[in-house]
Amino acid sequence: MTTGTPRPVRIAASILAADFARLGEQVAEAEAAGCDWLHVDVMDGHFVPNISLGLPVIEALRRSTRLPLDVHLMIEQPERFITAFAAAGADHLIIHVEACRHLHRAVEQIRAAGLSPGVTLNPATPLVMVEGLLPHVDQVVIMSVNPGFGGQQFIPSSLSRLAALRRRLTEAGLNVLISIDGGVNPDNAGQAVLAGADVLVAGTAVFGRGHTVAAGVAALRRAAAQVGQDRL
């Protein structure tokens, strides 16, 4: 057991799993339940086989909540839309390693637009693909499902990838957040935190129909707290 002050764990409620017929209410419930961020998946039907939310939804969310908007671009050539998402009210902008040819340039453009830059890797993408970018980003997202759809099952090998990235960041002395995104629930959240996750991106576990938003968030907090003292 490691001694010291444990790193805080953030919960990012993924609105892809929310009830869109009452999205404003669901966002308010997530904020009241103590979620730290709202995670917004933007899909273009090309990079991933689905189409989801766009700029008007980001603008509406910005008007309705004080929570940081953690915007995940699952789109081809994301650098084309950096300025637009900044104007719409995003706080964090996450782009895929696999979708951007000039990744360093895009990360610098995100920073220049006043946003917090992040990069994400699909489950089969080697961690070495972000090695040179680690000093330049605020967040690295480990996808624990194949992106494109909500409600998928967590890929267990994501935990070893998460732990390897945590070791690399610690060795380099870099203060970069690690997020885990996909299939996160109270059964695996503790393992993810112990492996090194700082941010739990959760959709169904927060907005699922079998419980209230407050109960979903509380269950994730309990799972994270049970192991929180075992990591720095």
Higher-pLDDT residue of 1 and 122 is: 122
- Fold of the domain built from segment(s) 10-230: TIM Barrel (3.20.20)
Which whole number is the average pLDDT over 57-80?
96
User: Which pTM was predicted?
Assistant: 0.93
Residue of 41, 44, 70, 198 marked active site: 41
Measured in degrees and rounded to the nearest 5, phi and psi for residue 145 equal -145, 165
The whole-angstrom separation of Cα 142 and Cα 138 is: 14
Average pLDDT of the chain is 93
pLDDT tens digit string along 103-142?
A: 999 999 999 999 999 999 999 999 999 999 999 999 999 9
- Helices (H), ranges, the chain: 23-32, 55-64, 82-88, 103-112, 158-172, 189-195, 204-207, 213-227
Q: Is 198 a catalytic residue?
A: no
pLDDT tens digit string along 156-172?
A: 999 999 999 999 999 99
Task: Please tell me whether residue 227 adopts helix, strand or coil conformation.
Answer: helix
Q: Is 181 a catalytic residue?
A: yes
Residue of 36, 44, 70, 181 marked active site: 181
